[in-house]
């Protein structure tokens, strides 16, 4: 690509980060995310948490958006009470990333949600989540692997047509699909592993962590969509935001 598309990746705030003698709050992002965007042919920029009303202005300057993985989405966002194994909420991060998703959908900007990012995409479109399941993570701090089977005829299957083994670390998953989304991959136990908008602007979520793998096909597809002329007018995806 002559002009590498500008891909924004959401970040999060973490207290107690240390540099030399300094211990300060920091906007952080595991390096695997920008490296994956770079390997796939894009220019990566970090999107530190901001006021939700600034999301539209940020997205307007981008060619594509990635919502990164992280902690559990607050259950009240999808009308549920917290389960006993659901983690504490990060309300500021939920609000910022939901605003980024809404802005990307409204403007037709290509969008990829990774793990939590896929779950948040589903919630943004009115879907719900399973608050706990077993068997989709390795030991604490380590990624497990399991096979993922694409659904024939989907956008994801056009990018990755065969069953693949993917790195995963999560205990929540999509339950009821959000408006306009279809499942495009599953784990052997039936867990939804990818969701997408089947037509209109390029929108995909994956439950695993491609930034921890050598396979760049999913993110390359995002970058290619971001490099293409914007074919959809704002709001043309026909999606209803929750």
pLDDT value of residue 46: 96
In a domain, 181, yes or no: yes
pLDDT value of residue 139: 80
In a domain, 73, yes or no: yes
Q: What is the dihedral of CA 128, 109, 57, 35, to 10 degrees?
A: 90
Mean pLDDT of the chain: 93
State how far the Cα of 114 lies from the Cα of 68, in Å rounded to an integer.
5
Q: How many domains does the chain have?
A: 1
Residue 115 annotated as catalytic: yes
- pLDDT of 1 > 70? The answer is no
In a domain, 143, yes or no: yes
Residue 18 annotated as catalytic: no
Which residue, chain included where needed, has tokens 């693949």? 164
> Which residues form the domain of 108?
6-227
CATH number at residue 162: 3.40.50.880
Among the listed residues 166, 116, 171, 130, the one whose alpha carbon sits nearest the alpha carbon of residue 145:
166
Tens-digit pLDDT profile for residues 53-109: 999 999 999 999 999 999 999 999 999 999 999 999 999 999 999 999 999 999 999
- pLDDT of 17 > 70? The answer is yes
In a domain, 236, yes or no: no
State how far the Cα of 125 lies from the Cα of 118, in Å rounded to an integer.
11
- The one-character DSSP state at 158 is H
In a domain, 237, yes or no: no
Name the catalytic one among 97, 193, 196, 209.
209
Name the catalytic one among 97, 193, 196, 211.
211
- pLDDT of 239 > 90? The answer is no
Which residue, chain included where needed, has tokens 């793990």? 115
Tens-digit pLDDT profile for residues 152-192: 999 999 999 999 999 999 999 999 999 999 999 999 999 99
Residue 211 annotated as catalytic: yes
pLDDT band of 232, cuts 50, 70, 90 = very low
Name the catalytic one among 74, 115, 193, 224.
115
């Amino acid at each position: 690509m002559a002009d590498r598309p500008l891909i924004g990746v959401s970040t999060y705030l973490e207290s107690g980060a240390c540099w030399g003698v300094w211990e300060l709050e920091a906007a952080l992002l595991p390096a695997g995310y920008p490296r994956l965007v770079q390997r796939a042919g894009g220019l990566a920029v970090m999107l530190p948490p901001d006021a939700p009303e600034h999301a539209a202005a940020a997205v307007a300057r981008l060619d594509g958006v990635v919502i990164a993985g992280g902690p559990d989405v607050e259950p009240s966002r999808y009308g549920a009470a917290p389960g006993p194994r659901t983690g504490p909420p990060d309300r500021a991060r939920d609000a910022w990333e939901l605003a980024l998703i809404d802005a990307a959908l409204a403007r037709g900007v290509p969008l990829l949600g990774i793990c939590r990012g896929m779950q948040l995409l589903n919630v943004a479109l009115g879907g719900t989540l399973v608050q706990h399941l077993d068997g989709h993570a390795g030991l604490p701090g380590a990624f497990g692997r399991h096979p993922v089977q694409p659904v024939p005829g989907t956008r994801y299957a056009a990018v990755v047509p065969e069953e693949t083994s993917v790195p995963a670390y999560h205990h929540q998953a999509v339950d009821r699909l959000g408006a306009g989304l279809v499942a495009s991959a599953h784990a052997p136990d039936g867990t939804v592993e990818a969701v997408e908008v089947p037509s209109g602007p390029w929108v995909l979520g994956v439950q695993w962590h491609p930034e921890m793998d050598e396979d760049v096909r999913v993110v390359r597809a995002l970058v290619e969509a971001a490099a293409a002329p914007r074919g959809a007018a704002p709001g043309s995806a026909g999606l209803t935001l929750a």
